[in-house]
Structure 1
Amino acid sequence: MSSHHIVRDDQEPALIIANGAACQPELLGQLLEWSPLVIVLDSAIERVMELDIKVDVLLGDFDRDFNPEKYQTTQFPIEIIHTPDQNKTDLEKAFDYLISRNIPAVNVVWATGKRADHTITNITNITRYRDVLKIVILDDHSKVFLLPKKFEKWYPAQTSISLIPIGHVTGIHSSNLFYPLQDDTLTIGYRTGSSNHVTQDGIVTIEHEEGDLLLMECID
């Protein structure tokens, strides 16, 4: 597992490798194959190097006596981005970097598992980027992304889908889900739309009026 760049000119989503639990090599390989740009957070670089992955951008606050210069040769050419701002996570800084380059979409791996606080923060913080960056967080069991006000996608029957509100979400309507939502309200900590599934092969439609609603495509 080493190369990517089969596509060029940012035609496909970039890839960010964070420092949570690793995913299966098959998933990582599929994403690398179609990613024109690979960003690795500094805390994960040694793990990534062990997998012989070509890195385009190394980004982070470089604390704990971290020396990024040693990767200039082994990962040449590599762009090294120092982001010392402690008011944002390194993952948020990577999102900001992509926005500065006018890259519209990104897949993120190794952002879940391990520490629960990191997992919750990584997933919920994508809401602030709703209008500027399409973010998908993937691991071996889930694909997580923020829904637009109206969402339509074809799914096979029995696909597991969870709808998780970030805060309070109102006016939710759905079609082709086993547990239908009709002008429903979901509130984190009180009522969520976890463990629903697709009724039959076909289009699933989900609409909501106000709030931030995550869709999680889940595999046991």
Structure 2
Amino acid sequence: MSSHHYVKEGQEPALIIANGEMCSYELLVSIMEWCPFVVVLDGAYARVVNLQITADVVIGDFDSIEGLPQNLTTQFIHIADQETTDLEKALAFLINKGYSDINIVWATGKRLDHTLNNFAIMGKYPGHKIVIYDDHSKAFVLPKSFSKIYNTGDKISLIPINQADGITTSNLMYKLDNEKLEYGNRSGTSNQVIATGDVTIRYTSGVLALIESID
């Protein structure tokens, strides 16, 4: 499967395939349909090759892809820097190329330390729309003012990345009114939409992520 396909005008996020637990093939294909540019972390390259997916770029130290076929249309970028993770390297690469919307799969599961770090990394890029998908959830950092239509009973969680202040919500069962959430102290997990319609979330400072449960 090639990453080059029809993309509707104005809908051109990039995709990063990380090295965590694989999501379903159906989810991967559905996300790729909207992503004209695919970056693969080198640790995931063997699995991507097995799925017959052609990446635009592979990033990493390449210790783990020796002997695997290398497509002539794929660019291999060696970055030996040990101060940043491969996911951070891929995000920096895409941001430098001008991408503001970036989807990420295979970033959860397997090693817990990697999962937690991958989630925290989203908070480093508040000016970009970075979304992590797996088979059970969709996670992204919220802008300071957010509104979206949800259905009655939809489950969402508000997770501060370090801390978020002045949080006010509407149409959620557990309402917040100018309140603070702090990682390790108080978070907003397992909230629920009261009625089909707009859910609004506003906050004044810090970084606040939203996780939509999709299973």
TM-score range (shorter-chain normalised) is over 0.9
Partner of 1:53 in structure 2? 53
In 2, Cα distance between equivalents of 1:8 and 1:186: 38
In 1, Cα distance between equivalents of 2:83 and 2:61: 11
In 2, Cα distance between equivalents of 1:29 and 1:67: 26
Unaligned stretches of 5+ residues in structure 2? none
Unaligned stretches of 5+ residues in structure 1? none
1:84 paired to 2:83: no
Partner of 1:100 in structure 2? 96
Q: Could you list the per-position Cα deviations for residues 136-182 of structure 1 after superposition, in whole angstroms to 9, with x for gaps in the alignment?
A: 00000110000111001111111100000111211100001111111
In 1, Cα distance between equivalents of 2:8 and 2:161: 34
Q: Match for 1:164 among 159, 163, 169?
A: 159
In 1, Cα distance between equivalents of 2:176 and 2:9: 40
The list of structure 1 runs, each at least 4 consecutive aligned residues, that deviate by more than 3 angstroms after superposition, is 8-11
The Cα shift of 1:121 comes to 0.2
The Cα shift of 1:26 comes to 1.1
Report matched runs for 1:26-45 at 5 Å.
26-45=26-45
Tell me the secondary structure at the aligned position of residue 178 of structure 2: strand
Partner of 2:142 in structure 1? 147
Tell me the secondary structure at the aligned position of residue 12 of structure 1: coil
In 2, Cα distance between equivalents of 1:57 and 1:219: 29
Retained in 1: the 8 A contact 2:19–2:107? yes
Retained in 2: the 8 A contact 1:8–1:36? no
In 1, Cα distance between equivalents of 2:8 and 2:90: 20
Partner of 2:21 in structure 1? 21
Q: Match for 1:203 among 178, 183, 198?
A: 198
Partner of 2:62 in structure 1? 62
In 1, Cα distance between equivalents of 2:37 and 2:66: 22
Q: Could you list the per-position Cα deviations for residues 32-78 of structure 1 after superposition, in whole angstroms to 9, with x for gaps in the alignment?
A: 122100111000000111111121111112236x438x543xx2311
Over the aligned positions, Cα root-mean-square deviation in angstroms equals 1.6
In 2, Cα distance between equivalents of 1:41 and 1:8: 26
Retained in 1: the 8 A contact 2:156–2:210? yes
Percent of residue pairs bearing the same amino acid type: 50
Tell me the secondary structure at the aligned position of residue 23 of structure 1: coil
The Cα shift of 1:3 comes to 3.0
Partner of 1:109 in structure 2? 105
In 2, Cα distance between equivalents of 1:11 and 1:188: 33
